[in-house]
Amino acid sequence: MAKKKTIYHCTECGAQYPKWQGFCSQCGVWNSIEEEEIVVGKKDASSSFSATTLSPSRPIRIQDIERREEVRLDLGDPELNRVLGGGLVPGSFVLLGGEPGIGKSTLILQTVLGTPYRTLYISGEESLSQLKMRADRLGGSESECLIYAETSLEKILHTAHDIHPDLLVIDSIQTIQTELSDSSAGSVSQIRECAGALLKYCKTEGVAVILIGHINKEGSIAGPKILEHTVDVVLQFDGDKHYMYRILRGQKNRFGSTAELGIYEMRHSGLRPVDNPSEHLMSHTGLRLSGVAIAAAMEGVRPFLIETQALVSSAVYATPQRSSTGYDTRRMNMLLAVLEKRAGFKLIQKDVFLNIAGGIRLSDPASDLAVISAVLSSSLDLALPEGVCLTGEVGLSGEVRPVSRIEQRLMEAERIGFRAMILPEGNLASLPEDPTRKIRLVGVKTVEEAFRLLFRKEG
């Protein structure tokens, strides 16, 4: 007979306790312990599936293990394939998280509608008519994708066992519930039990499973942290909903690198992969405006040129405002202190506003030189020379420090058509001579040298 049992679990890490306490000793979070009733003695939801491949029964040496090349599924989306490491590995367990309305379901639905693989799409949030309307808008209503509106894990697993799909999509994991727990859908125990059963099905049947997950107000994926440890790949889909660009990042990938980045443009007909983000992240008005500098930045291993915009004006209130969009405000304050201390420009009575064009969040330290150049350009009301981009990390002493992957940044700037690049002297000395190079390279050691080049002579 199944019996009910009361336990107390942490909503942050999933740790269990026999009684309530105000502090979780595992993750150190206060007021995260909640009461929950579970049912013990029930049969596992995935116990009806037998393993097709068993691990070796005895330990073997690593050199004796047979190496097999993984055959990846081409999803037809170059950006998604890049972030996954070249495609979707059969039998992999993928988790996609993002803010509400950012386009998670749209990304996965338009991807599976365009693939030739047999796909079972489980919808726990939308009805069949809603999905039909979205499929018509995405232009994939003639696909062979099978749609199943269900929230019971037991029914989903039995349906998947009968259909034998190549790809199983769960939208979303917070809406699925199992009989192994009496708690409501989306609770820690429900997500833990559902993820464990889906993992067993994924590995025993060799079917790739994609979970769509919600995020909490802190920006992390909702549910216990064990969910992210269970899956093979964790993808984060973010961006500003008021802008048209979305970024797909890999936070965990057992089959590839987490340094890859995918960029999409949101349109009425769905998400369009952006093959050349540099041209989209720069304005092409032809006007020389003050407060604008082009940074040669990197996101993971992907170079792109992005426009940094700054506005410096007289402070209206006693305390000057410091605001940034798409850039770390604390790092901007540090650069302003360097600008005042090392370069002698007084900004203490000035409001400073910084914006990264296109709604992209920039975290590359190599964009420091472009940021302070844009701030100084707005303060002096002088435009930077045309056709010049900048890269370099600024230290607290005002020195311009070398950056990584300078060759990729240089090739991207030359491909876009820039005439000159200001870069750290250390990077310039390490670059080999290339007579076919069409871009002029100017090395600087300090921010003062860079300012003399930008504002006292034509670049």
Binding residue numbers for ATP: 98-105
Type and span of the H or E element at 353: strand 350-356
Is-cis flag, bond preceding 172, omega within 30? yes
Q: What is the DSSP string of 344-395?
A: ----TTEEEEEEEGGG-----GGGHHHHHHHHHHHHHT-PPPTTEEE--EEP
Rounded distance, CA 349 to CA 337, Å?
Answer: 13
Residue pair 261/303 in contact by the 8 Å Cβ criterion: no
Sign of CA dihedral 270, 273, 274, 275: negative
| Residues with Cβ within 8 Å of residue 161, at least 6 apart in sequence | 48, 49, 201, 205
Question: Which residue(s) pair with 169 in the sheet?
Answer: 121, 210
The separation between CA 286 and the C-alpha centre of its own chain, rounded to angstroms, equals 32
Q: How far is the CA of 13 from the CAs of 29, 33, 152, 200, 427, in angstroms?
A: 9, 10, 25, 21, 44
Residue pair 73/86 in contact by the 8 Å Cβ criterion: no
Q: Are strands 302-314 and 292-299 parallel, antiparallel or unpaired?
A: antiparallel
Question: Which residue(s) pair with 146 in the sheet?
Answer: 120
The total of other beta-carbon atoms located within 10 Å of residue 136's CB is 10
Rounded distance, CA 390 to CA 370, Å?
Answer: 6
